[in-house]
């Protein structure tokens, strides 16, 4: 009962312009750049990158000397004597000139922004530290080492990378099919804010300082375009149009973009010797405020939408309400110390951060469905199923994570190799999750969807009642009245075959006398066919959406299909009974004629 979005008049207008070729060329270039940032992450799935075990903030303060290693005994920086609270001498290591060794060192250490970074195996770093207390200024040379391969982290990273690629390609296809401001805004948002990670890409280009600096400018541009694009999408969804009251905000977007772009560029000044932690945190807070503004816009604009479009808007709001907070928390956890300052606790493990990024895929899926489909099912259906899956994942993943950590420290008890977690334990977890999900969703449907099960029971009763129907008109009433009342449908009608054509019967709901009275059988119809035992269509039952604007979901379509099967048998039975009466009447007439002769 679902179809593709009708061609928008804006798409037709754009398609006739030469700019369409330029737009698609730009789309290909931006898609390729986005994929180039995240696809190298597949390498980390099978082989970890090297690390110095050192994380500093954007002022040069050492905030971690262990991650991603298990302990200080494994961390190269900790073994070299680096401790938390040490401060890197940014001015001594500034990237001037770009051909200097110091430029490579500072870019490998912070890559423009503080936090955890990875490098290629064999990398060496010379770090200058400021004097601290009784400890004089010193310069240390640290060789990068590979942390132990972690099967669970690799599994989560694989999922993040696959979802990141899918998100980018989905948004790209939407723009290719409908190159309008609304789809462009969403695309610009997801090419930077997606579950994929760019650690490997930065590690590959670290050897070329100019390439890193160009990437930082591109990153500042992409982040600015992403947030502005999301606002444009929120202002124009679902029909690429905007109410006059939002025009002042749209006119202010260039100024907001210019200010945010300048702020992002300034945060990269730490590679030239300037502390930028305060500017970086301001950038984070501004981006969070813009995300909150998007949710506010979407909620406010709901009031002016039709029921059908309001349901599509609910999908977008639900996606943003789930995906944006998860992404923000993950970004905070990846930042240099900001997570601890905001929440007052240490940063979560990398597996948890990866799962948070994975939740962002919900936003892309919900938004893409809302854009592609003119009518959607109730958003409570995927939310309920997704909630069950999330709860089951946590109930299973958390104990397995702690079991993995325990086994990693007690390898002599159970010598399970790391590859077994990816090739054996991982698929086993997925299988168990699938089985549990099926049962839990069924139980949740019974618990939270009593109306659905009541409708299912009543429609089954209606199907039984069709067996005793005495006429085709009575069958028509059963086909329309029951589903429309039980499922709260806006309309319904039966088109029965008469003399080779499908003509509308008297029993209808939500149809006017002037509406279509005969169907063209050569054209596809969003309908439920009513077939007899031979497979031939005896009638076609047309059902509209729910009265609140949502489309019929798969379960409801299955129920209507079952009802149609019962109706088909009933039509044939009524027709056979009518033929028997005709035959009996003809026989009586023949007998009477023979008697008179």
Domain assignment present for 429: no
> What is the C-alpha to C-alpha distance for residues 350 and 41, in angstroms, rounded to an integer?
14
Domain assignment present for 380: yes
Q: In this structure, are residues 355 and 156 in contact, taking their beta carbons and an 8 Å threshold?
A: yes
Relative to beta strand 492-498, strand 501-509 is antiparallel
The overall longest dimension of the chain from CA atoms, in Å, is 135
**CA angle, residues 292, 346, 391, in degrees to nearest 5:** 65
DSSP letter for 69, please.
S
Domain assignment present for 528: yes
Burial readout 203-213 (b: 16 or more C-beta within 10 A, e: otherwise): bbebeebeebb
Backbone torsions φ then ψ of 320, nearest 5 degrees? -65, -40
Domain assignment present for 437: no
Q: In this structure, are residues 364 and 162 in contact, taking their beta carbons and an 8 Å threshold?
A: no
Domain assignment present for 369: yes
Does residue 371 share a domain with residue 459? no
Q: Where are the alpha helices (DSSP H) in 410-471?
A: 418-420, 426-448, 450-466
Does residue 469 share a domain with residue 387? no
Q: In this structure, are residues 397 and 352 in contact, taking their beta carbons and an 8 Å threshold?
A: no
Domain assignment present for 285: yes
Beta strands in 475-585 (DSSP E): 492-498, 501-509, 518-519, 528-531, 537-543
Last residue of a domain, one of 419, 440, 473: 419
Residue 17, C-beta contacts closer than 8 angstroms, at least 6 positions apart: none
Does residue 397 share a domain with residue 490? no
Does residue 353 share a domain with residue 225? yes
CATH number for the domain spanning 495: value is 3.30.450.40
Does residue 505 share a domain with residue 403? no
Does residue 580 share a domain with residue 525? yes
Q: What is the dihedral of CA 190, 196, 199, 200, to 10 degrees?
A: -110
**Token pair 């980390």 in the structure block, residue:** 44
Last residue of a domain, one of 419, 444, 467: 419
- The strand pairing partners of 496, in sequence order, are 503, 539
Domain assignment present for 89: no
Does residue 471 share a domain with residue 338? no
Does residue 491 share a domain with residue 552? yes
Q: Please give the residue range of the domain that contains residue 550.
A: 452-584
Burial readout 486-524 (b: 16 or more C-beta within 10 A, e: otherwise): bbebbbbbbbbbeeeebebbebbbebeeeeeeebeeeee
Does residue 198 share a domain with residue 279? yes
**CA angle, residues 458, 463, 469, in degrees to nearest 5:** 120
Q: pLDDT tens per residue, the chain (597 residues)?
A: 333 334 444 444 444 566 888 999 999 999 999 999 999 999 888 888 999 999 888 888 888 888 888 888 899 999 999 998 899 999 999 888 888 888 888 988 887 677 888 899 999 999 999 998 888 899 999 999 999 887 778 888 898 999 999 999 999 999 999 999 999 999 999 999 888 888 899 989 988 989 999 999 999 999 999 999 999 999 999 999 999 999 999 999 999 999 999 999 999 998 898 988 889 889 988 998 999 999 999 999 988 888 888 889 999 998 888 888 888 888 777 765 666 666 555 667 777 888 888 888 888 888 888 888 887 777 776 766 666 666 656 566 666 656 655 655 655 665 666 556 556 666 776 666 666 656 665 665 555 566 666 777 777 778 778 778 888 888 888 888 888 877 778 788 888 877 777 778 877 787 777 667 776 544 434 578 888 776 777 888 888 777 777 777 777 788 888 888 888 888 888 888 888 888 888 888 888 887 776
Q: How many domains does the chain have?
A: 2
- The strand pairing partners of 495, in sequence order, are 504, 540
> What is the C-alpha to C-alpha distance for residues 45 and 241, in angstroms, rounded to an integer?
43
Does residue 277 share a domain with residue 160? yes
Last residue of a domain, one of 396, 419, 442: 419
Domain assignment present for 95: no
> Which of 163, 41, 49, 52 is closest to 106 using CA atoms?
52
Token readout for 32 is: 């390729």
**Cα 96 to chain centroid, rounded:** 42
> What is the C-alpha to C-alpha distance for residues 500 and 319, in angstroms, rounded to an integer?
47
For the chain, the first-to-last Cα distance in angstroms comes to: 61
Does residue 461 share a domain with residue 388? no
Does residue 234 share a domain with residue 383? yes
């Amino acid at each position: 009962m679902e179809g593709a979005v009708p061609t928008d008049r804006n798409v037709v207008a754009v398609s006739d312009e030469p700019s369409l070729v330029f737009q698609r060329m730009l789309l290909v270039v931006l898609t390729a750049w986005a994929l180039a940032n995240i696809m190298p992450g597949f390498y980390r799935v099978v082989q970890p990158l090297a690390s110095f075990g050192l994380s500093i903030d954007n002022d040069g303060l050492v905030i971690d000397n262990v991650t991603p290693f298990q302990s200080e005994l494994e961390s190269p920086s900790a073994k070299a004597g680096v401790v938390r609270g040490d401060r890197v001498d940014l001015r001594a290591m500034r990237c001037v000139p770009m051909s200097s060794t110091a430029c490579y060192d500072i870019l490998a250490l912070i890559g423009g922004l503080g936090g955890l970074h990875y490098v290629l195996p064999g990398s060496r770093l010379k770090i200058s530290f400021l004097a601290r207390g009784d400890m004089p200024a010193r310069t240390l040379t640290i060789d990068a080492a590979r942390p132990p391969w972690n099967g669970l982290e690799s599994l989560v990273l694989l999922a993040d990378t696959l979802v990141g690629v899918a998100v980018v390609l989905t948004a790209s296809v939407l723009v290719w099919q409908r190159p309008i401001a609304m789809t462009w805004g969403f695309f610009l948002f997801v090419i930077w804010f997606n579950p994929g990670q760019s650690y490997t890409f930065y590690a590959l280009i670290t050897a070329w300082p100019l390439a890193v600096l160009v990437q930082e400018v591109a990153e500042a541009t992409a982040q600015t375009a992403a947030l502005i694009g999301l606002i444009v999408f929120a202002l124009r969804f679902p029909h690429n149009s905007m109410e006059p009251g939002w025009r002042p905000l749209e006119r202010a977007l260039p100024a907001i973009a210019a200010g945010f772009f300048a702020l992002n560029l300034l945060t990269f000044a730490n590679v030239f010797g300037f502390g930028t932690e305060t500017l970086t945190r301001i950038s984070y807070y501004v981006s969070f405020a813009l995300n909150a503004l998007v949710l506010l816009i979407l909620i406010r604009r709901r009031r002016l939408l039709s029921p059908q479009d309001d349901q599509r808007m609910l999908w977008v709001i639900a996606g943003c309400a789930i995906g944006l907070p998860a992404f923000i928390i993950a970004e905070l956890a990846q930042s240099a110390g900001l997570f601890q300052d905001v929440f007052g606790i240490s940063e979560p493990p990398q597996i948890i951060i990866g799962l948070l990024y994975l939740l962002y895929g919900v936003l892309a899926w919900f938004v893409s469905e809302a854009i592609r489909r003119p009518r959607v099912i109730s958003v409570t259906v995927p939310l309920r199923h997704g909630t069950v899956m999330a709860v089951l994942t946590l109930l299973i993943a958390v104990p397995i994570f702690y079991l993995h950590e325990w086994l990693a420290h007690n390898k002599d008890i159970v010598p399970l190799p790391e590859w077994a977690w990816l090739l054996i334990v991982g698929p086993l977890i997925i299988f168990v999750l699938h089985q549990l999900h099926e049962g839990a969703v069924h139980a949740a449907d019974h618990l939270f969807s009593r109306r659905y099960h009541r409708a299912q029971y009543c429609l089954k009763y209606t199907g039984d009642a069709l067996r005793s129907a005495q006429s085709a008109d009575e069958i028509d009433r059963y086909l329309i009245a029951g589903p429309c009342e039980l499922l709260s449908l806006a309309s319904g009608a039966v088109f029965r075959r008469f003399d080779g054509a499908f003509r509308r019967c008297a029993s209808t709901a939500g149809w006017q006398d002037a509406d279509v009275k005969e169907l063209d059988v050569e054209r596809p119809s969003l309908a439920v066919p009513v077939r007899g035992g031979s497979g031939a269509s005896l009638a076609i039952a047309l059902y509209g959406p729910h009265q609140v604007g949502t489309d019929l979901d798969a379960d409801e379509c299955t129920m209507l299909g079952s009802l149609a099967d019962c109706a088909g048998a009933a039509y044939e039975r009524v027709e056979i009974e009518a033929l028997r009466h005709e035959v009996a009447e003809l026989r009586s007439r023949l007998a009477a004629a023979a008697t008179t002769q």
